[in-house]
Amino acid sequence: AAAMAGSALSRVPDVQIDGDGVFKYVLVRVRGAGAPAKDVVRGHSWAEYHADLFERTAEELARDGLSCECLGGGRLSHRPEERKIHVYGYSVGFGRADHAVTTEKLKAEYPDYEITWADEGY
């Protein structure tokens, strides 16, 4: 079971965000049965609330037998024409995500971008 959970976990993308604009994001810790956990970033403009992002992510992961918890949220400003992403803000419901962790995840996904973060702003 752990091996299956591990492979299901390895197929979960670390980052799924919209290609442009300003939108909410959540930092989610994903776990398989007996497998190590990993943190993933999900950010989309369709989400009115951080809970919308988390609930859809949890539903998708549950299909693969994975569980998750929300570590917090914030906002992303993604400007592809400038190759910049700025991470800031917080979630009223889930609290502030660790933007430093989110930034590292984004840097791995967008190595040629300038990625910054700040605790200020909403």
Domains and CATH numbers, the chain: 1-118 (3.50.20.20)
Residues 17-68: tens digit of each pLDDT: 999 999 999 999 999 888 789 999 999 999 999 999 999 999 999 999 999 9
Q: Give the three-class secondary structure for 9.
A: helix
Residue 50 annotated to the active site: yes
Whole-structure pTM value: 0.93
Question: Is 24 labelled a binding residue?
Answer: yes
pLDDT confidence of residue 26: 98
Catalytic residue among 44, 50, 86, 99: 50
Compute the distance between CA of residue 84 and CA of residue 64 in angstroms, rounded to an integer.
33
Residues 62-112: tens digit of each pLDDT: 999 999 999 999 999 999 999 999 999 999 999 999 999 999 999 999 999
Quick one: 57 exposed, middle or buried, by C-beta within 10 A (0-12, 13-18, 19+)?
A: buried
pLDDT confidence of residue 120: 72
